[in-house]
Structure formats: C-alpha cells, structure tokens
Structure 1
Amino acid sequence: MSEEQKGLSDGVEESRGDPRVLLAMNAVLSLWLGWTIVWGLDLLEVLEYGLGTVAGVSLGLFALTYVVVLQ
C-alpha cells in the first residue's frame, strides 16, 4: 500500500457536505429558536404568542442565517 491512510480530520476537511442537510438543520433550529424568543417575549408581555408570530420570527431567523452563511 503506497497510499497513506487518511484520518478523520482529513475526511472532514475534504467533505463538501449535503446542502439539504444544512437547510433542514437551519429550519429546525430557526423554528426552535423562534419559538423560544416568542415564548420569552410573551412572558415579558412584549409580543403575543401565536403560530403566526412564531412562524414569522422563525422565517426571519432562517433567512438571516442563510444570508450570513452564504457570505
């Protein structure tokens, strides 16, 4: 065997990854964080808790992280 075996760090550095996994993780984490933010602001009586509010905050977080990651 003339080829040198690659370690885990070499494999991670060469991996391009699947963008669908990143989008799914971003969606789930944005939803969770959006729910947490709206829940906390509802406790402080700043925002009213509702599905529309959670969806809006989550969508904003998703778009923000997507734009930041692309730069």
Structure 2
Amino acid sequence: MQDLLRPEAPGFPVAIPPGHVGPVTLPGTGRTVWWTGRVAIGLLHEPRRQAGLSESARWVQALLLAPRAC
C-alpha cells in the first residue's frame, strides 16, 4: 500500500492544525483552498494572462475596426 502524506507529517507543505475545517492558503502561490479535514478542494487552474495583445490579435482588431468603403 502506498504511504499517504498526512497534514501532521513533517515536511507537509502547509501547517494545518488538527481538526481545522475551512480555508487554507497555499504557500508560494497565495491560492486559497477549502480544507475538509481530510482533503483540500477548490484547486482551479488559472492560466496566466498576457500583459498585452498578440500581434495577430491586433491585426484582427484593426481589420474589424477599419472603416469600410461602401
């Protein structure tokens, strides 16, 4: 059987007091998850947003916003 990593084990990445149920902030990311007492739920992937528009996005935007000749 595989060894399980328990919150009270040394080296567990987050210090969770015994009996705690509620929000826990993950170190390094600042994301908050809900600790149920046995597992953490609420981990969502949040892709990083780019600071600006890509060249192709600017080209499409210019094409759509250009005045049309009738």
Shorter chain as normaliser: what TM range?
A: under 0.3
TM-score (norm 2): 0.27
Normalised by the length of structure 1, the TM-score is 0.27
Identify which of structures 1 and 2 has the higher relative contact order when contacts are C-alpha pairs closer than 8 Å and 6+ apart: 1
The structure in which a higher percent of residues are strand is 2
